[in-house]
């Protein structure tokens, strides 16, 4: 049998639907003495299925519900006063995830996905910068609590967000890469995250940008073998973002995450 190289699997998040009351009640039995609510439950469940994932990520788009609570000066998603953030709202979640999985990242929606609106500043660029700055402060607080890094799930490439937030410990994940401006993203980020079905785009992007790592989303064995013909295995990862059926989803990714040596 030909020898194979095992590739790391990276999570960009796992969505968790609204549970039934009995499910939450049963889970709370194991949380006596700890502060917990529905969001804590969903964070916990988002990690449960990621056993064996090299870079797990707690959360997903659903975590935006908690993130909104940390922004001050807002009323129903509209800024009506001086902008600010309350890190305590998310610091507890960071500590909880750290106790569950010390290597976990946090996944949450990028700023534009929260659909905040300005009713106070009167300047669109200044408003966007203020929201991005709030993100940076909250994520820094979470990293101070031991979180390894953050995945920002994005539907569009926003220049202000990318300039202010993209970095070694903050990774933008294009949820729908086929409709995403990957050229703009790669001006700020060295990680090329691309669906296996769009693999034919990778060569051109690698020629035009300094790509440090390729994360192939939901590949099969053939996709990985094809990628290994033009990219060193050291720069390859298998990635996933689970929207449903998560327990089997991650296991399937792990099982096929290898290339011929």
Model-level pTM greater than 0.75? yes
Residue 22 to residue 8: CA distance in whole angstroms: 36
156 in any annotated domain: yes
Average pLDDT, the chain: 92
Tell me what pLDDT residue 2 has. 61
196 in any annotated domain: no
Structural domain boundaries, residue 98: 10-190
Q: Is the pLDDT of residue 260 over 90?
A: no
Predicted confidence band at 171 (pLDDT cuts at 50, 70, 90)? very high
Tell me what pLDDT residue 32 has. 66
Convert 114-153 to b/e letters by CB count within 10 Å (16 or more is b): bebebeebeeeeebbbbbbebbbebbebbbebebbbbbbb
Instruction: Please state the rounded mean pLDDT for residues 210-239.
Output: 91
209 in any annotated domain: no
Q: What is the CATH number of the domain that holds 129?
A: 3.20.20.210
What is the strand order of the sheet 213-217 is part of?
9-14, 236-242, 213-217, 191-195
What pLDDT digit, counting tens, does each position of 14-62 carry?
998 888 888 888 887 777 666 778 899 999 989 988 989 999 999 999 9
Residue 210 to residue 111: CA distance in whole angstroms: 26
Q: Where are the alpha helices (DSSP H) in the chain?
A: 21-28, 38-48, 64-69, 88-100, 124-144, 159-165, 182-186, 202-208, 221-227, 246-255
226 in any annotated domain: no
Q: Is the pLDDT of residue 4 over 90?
A: no
Instruction: Please state the rounded mean pLDDT for residues 226-234.
Output: 88
227 in any annotated domain: no
Q: Is the pLDDT of residue 1 over 60?
A: no
Residue 43 to residue 109: CA distance in whole angstroms: 14
What pLDDT digit, counting tens, does each position of 175-197 carry?
888 788 999 999 999 999 999 88
Residue 253 to residue 87: CA distance in whole angstroms: 34
Number of domains, the chain: 1
Residues in the chain: 261
220 in any annotated domain: no
159 in any annotated domain: yes
Tell me what pLDDT residue 14 has. 93
Q: Is the pLDDT of residue 243 over 70?
A: yes
133 in any annotated domain: yes
What pLDDT digit, counting tens, does each position of 92-135 carry?
999 999 998 999 999 999 999 999 999 999 999 999 999 999 99
Predicted confidence band at 12 (pLDDT cuts at 50, 70, 90)? very high
């Amino acid at each position: 049998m030909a020898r194979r190289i095992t590739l790391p699997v990276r999570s960009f998040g796992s969505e968790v639907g609204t549970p039934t009351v009995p499910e939450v009640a049963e889970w709370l039995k194991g949380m006596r003495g700890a502060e917990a609510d529905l969001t804590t439950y969903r964070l916990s469940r988002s990690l449960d299925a990621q056993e064996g994932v090299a870079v797990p990520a707690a959360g997903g788009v659903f975590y935006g519900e908690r993130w909104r609570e940390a922004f001050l000066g807002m009323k129903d998603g509209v800024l009506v006063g001086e902008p600010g953030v309350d890190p305590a709202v998310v610091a507890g979640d960071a500590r909880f995830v750290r106790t569950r999985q010390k290597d976990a990242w946090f996944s949450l929606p990028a700023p534009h996905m929260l659909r905040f609106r300005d009713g106070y500043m009167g300047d669109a660029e200044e408003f966007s910068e203020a929201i991005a700055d709030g993100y940076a402060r909250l994520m820094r607080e979470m990293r101070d609590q031991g979180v390894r890094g953050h995945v920002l799930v994005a539907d569009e490439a926003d220049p202000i967000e990318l300039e202010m937030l993209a970095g070694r410990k903050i990774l933008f994940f294009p949820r729908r890469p086929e409709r995403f401006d990957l050229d703009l993203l790669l001006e700020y980020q060295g990680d090329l995250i691309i669906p296996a079905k769009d693999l034919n785009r990778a060569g051109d992007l690698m020629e035009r940008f300094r790509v440090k790592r390729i994360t192939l989303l939901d590949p099969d064995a053939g996709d990985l073998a094809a990628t290994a013909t033009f990219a060193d295995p050291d720069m390859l990862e298998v990635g996933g973002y689970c929207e449903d059926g998560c327990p089997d989803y991650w296991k399937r990714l792990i099982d096929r995450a290898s290339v011929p040596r």
